[in-house]
């Protein structure tokens, strides 16, 4: 079992767990993920690494309650254990001195983007961060992202905090106003798709972190297949980072929708059983 060291509620249905996993922490790199299984009856789910501490031997994961497993995770507290915590998996994000990098985070994507932005700044890049959410109540880690960004722009759909609107508006303004060498976008598929549509006319390299259905995390099951430039790739071993201009976004989102419907049914069944106990 992997012991939970600390738990924090960051926002509505968004939770942080710090988990004791020294062997994973030793090898973790920005952009990688872990596969978690809560108990013997649980499914395996991928969660991007939000942070790690080699000295403490701990890993930090942040997740949104969207299905049965994330609901189970949210019910755990410090001192409880997680059955499986496998990683680090996937290819690390390419970190180099690019120049000016705009990092765009949508929702929980802010957690995944933090270690990437931190490493990019350490490499001497000028890091501009855009973080967006539906409302102010869903914004988290603002100060963390501000501390590793030369500029931080916040948007909310309802205008309750920062600029009203979506992240692609300030992204386009930046592209029109100055030279941008790379864009990294992490968040919901539709948000990443429109970031790529925004950057394409400017010819700016745009890296996205894909989050398709995933089971084993080693490329054996084939569930995480995505189409990149017309060829099948597996997000768990070939990614999760890909050139966003080459991704078949419509195929990715169709597969996600089918999975979410099944997950909704599974969650309803789990909640029914939980109420009977």
Angle made by CA atoms 201, 135, 103, in degrees to the nearest 5 = 35
Cα-flanking dihedrals φ and ψ of residue 218, to 5°? -125, 5
Please name the fold of domain 100-255: Rossmann fold (3.40.50)
Q: How far apart are CA 13 and CA 80, in angstroms?
A: 19
Cα-flanking dihedrals φ and ψ of residue 147, to 5°? -65, -20
pLDDT at 269: 45
Q: How far apart are CA 128 and CA 162, in angstroms?
A: 15
pLDDT at 69: 84
Q: Tokens in use for 159?
A: 């205008």
Predicted TM-score (pTM) of this structure: 0.87
- Give the ranges where 45-92 is alpha helix by DSSP (H): 68-74
Q: Tokens in use for 277?
A: 């106990």
Q: Which residues have CB under 8 Å from 114's CB, separation 6+?
A: 50, 51, 141, 144, 145, 148
Residues listed for the chain? 277
pLDDT at 238: 83
Q: How far apart are CA 84 and CA 3, in angstroms?
A: 10
pLDDT at 44: 85
Compute the mean pLDDT over every residue in the chain, rounded to the nearest whole number. 88
Residues 2-89: name the CATH superfamily.
Translation factors (2.40.30.10)
In angstroms, what CA-CA distances link 97 with 138, 240, 242?
32, 21, 18
DSSP at 92: P
Instruction: Tell me, yes or no, if the two domains 2-89 and 100-255 fold the same way.
Output: no
Q: Tokens in use for 11?
A: 């926002």
Q: How far apart are CA 215 and CA 212, in angstroms?
A: 10
Q: Tokens in use for 55?
A: 């000295």
- How do the domains of the chain map onto residue ranges? 2-89, 100-255
Residues lower than pLDDT 50 in the chain: 262-271, 273-275, 277
């Amino acid at each position: 079992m992997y012991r939970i060291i600390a738990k924090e509620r960051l926002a509505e249905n968004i939770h942080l767990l710090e988990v004791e996993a020294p062997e994973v922490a030793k090898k973790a790199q920005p952009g990688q993920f872990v596969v978690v299984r809560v108990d013997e009856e649980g499914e395996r789910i991928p969660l991007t690494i939000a942070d790690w501490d080699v000295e403490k031997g701990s890993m930090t994961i942040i997740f949104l309650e969207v299905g049965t497993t994330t609901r189970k995770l949210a019910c755990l507290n410090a001192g409880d254990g997680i059955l499986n915590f496998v990683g680090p998996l996937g290819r690390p994000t390419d970190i180099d001195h690019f120049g000016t990098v705009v990092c765009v985070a949508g929702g929980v994507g802010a957690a995944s983007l933090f270690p990437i932005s931190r490493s990019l700044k350490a490499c001497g890049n000028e890091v501009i961060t855009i973080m967006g959410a539906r409302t102010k109540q869903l914004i988290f880690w603002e100060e963390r992202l501000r501390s590793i960004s030369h500029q931080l722009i916040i948007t909310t759909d309802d205008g309750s905090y920062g600029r009203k609107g979506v992240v692609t508006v300030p992204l386009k303004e930046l592209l029109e106003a100055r030279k941008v060498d790379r864009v990294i976008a992490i968040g919901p598929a539709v948000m990443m798709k429109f970031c790529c549509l925004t950057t394409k006319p400017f010819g700016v390299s745009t890296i996205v972190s894909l989050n398709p259905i995933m089971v084993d995390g080693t490329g054996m099951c084939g569930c995480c297949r995505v189409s990149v430039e017309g060829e099948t790739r597996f997000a768990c071993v070939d990614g999760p980072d890909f050139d966003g201009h080459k991704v078949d976004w419509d195929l990715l989102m169709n597969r996600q929708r089918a999975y979410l419907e099944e997950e909704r049914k599974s969650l309803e069944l789990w909640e029914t059983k939980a109420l009977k106990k």
